[in-house]
């Protein structure tokens, strides 16, 4: 994957597959592995909201299922206005594998900002030894 714009394009393509009949809030994500492979995901809602899945976690779970464990960059696009950020659950799932990774967040006009995951989730939960 040669550019952030290409990763955003893949996220927009994935967004078209979103299943969001309840919120009408379609999200797409494109996850770049450290090895250069791209995994996409879209949100899938369920009438029992707790059974829904975010686009970011859908992409991560596809990648992990393929044997990937190290990620470099995630692009997130959504149908809402303004910049749309991943939820805390998605940030925690990403941090499980790649706390050093970067995230690209967009608005409805495809302007984007880049953040370090550690800046978005500074106190990552881990079963390992915690700092005091």
**What DSSP letter does each residue of 27-70 carry, written as one string?**
EEEEEEETTS-EEEEE-B--SSGGG-B-HHHHHHHHHHHTT---
* Cβ–Cβ under 8 Å, residues 77 and 106: yes
Query: Is 44 among the annotated ligand-binding positions?
Result: yes
Say if residue 24 carries a ligand binding annotation: no
48 is in an annotated binding site: yes
Q: What is the DSSP letter of 23?
A: T
Q: Determine the Cα angle at 117 with ends 125 and 6, to 5°.
A: 140
Catalytic residue among 56, 68, 100, 108: 56
- Is 47 labeled as ligand-binding? yes
Residue 100 known to bind ligand:
no
User: How far, in Å, CA of 125 to CA of 107, rounded?
Assistant: 28
5 is an active site residue:
no
77 is in an annotated binding site: no
User: Annotated binding residue at 65?
Assistant: no
Among residues 26, 24, 30, which one has the least CA distance to residue 9? 30
Binding site, annotated residues: 43-49, 54, 87, 90
- Binding residues for Zn(2+) are 54, 87, 90
Residues with catalytic function: 56
Binding site for substrate, by residue number, is 43-49
């Amino acid at each position: 994957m040669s550019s952030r714009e290409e990763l955003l394009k893949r996220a927009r393509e994935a967004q078209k597959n979103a299943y969001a009949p309840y919120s009408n809030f379609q999200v797409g994500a494109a996850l770049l592995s450290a090895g250069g492979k791209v995994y996409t995901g879209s949100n899938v809602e369920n009438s029992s909201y707790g059974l829904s899945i975010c686009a970011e976690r859908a992409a991560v779970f596809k990648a992990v299922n393929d044997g990937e464990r190290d990620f470099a960059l995630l692009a997130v696009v959504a149908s809402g206005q303004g910049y749309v950020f991943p939820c805390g659950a998605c940030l925690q799932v990403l941090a499980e594998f790649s706390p050093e990774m970067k995230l690209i967040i967009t608005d409805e006009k495809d302007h984007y900002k880049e953040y370090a995951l550690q800046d978005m989730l500074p106190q990552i939960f881990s079963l390992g030894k915690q700092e005091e």
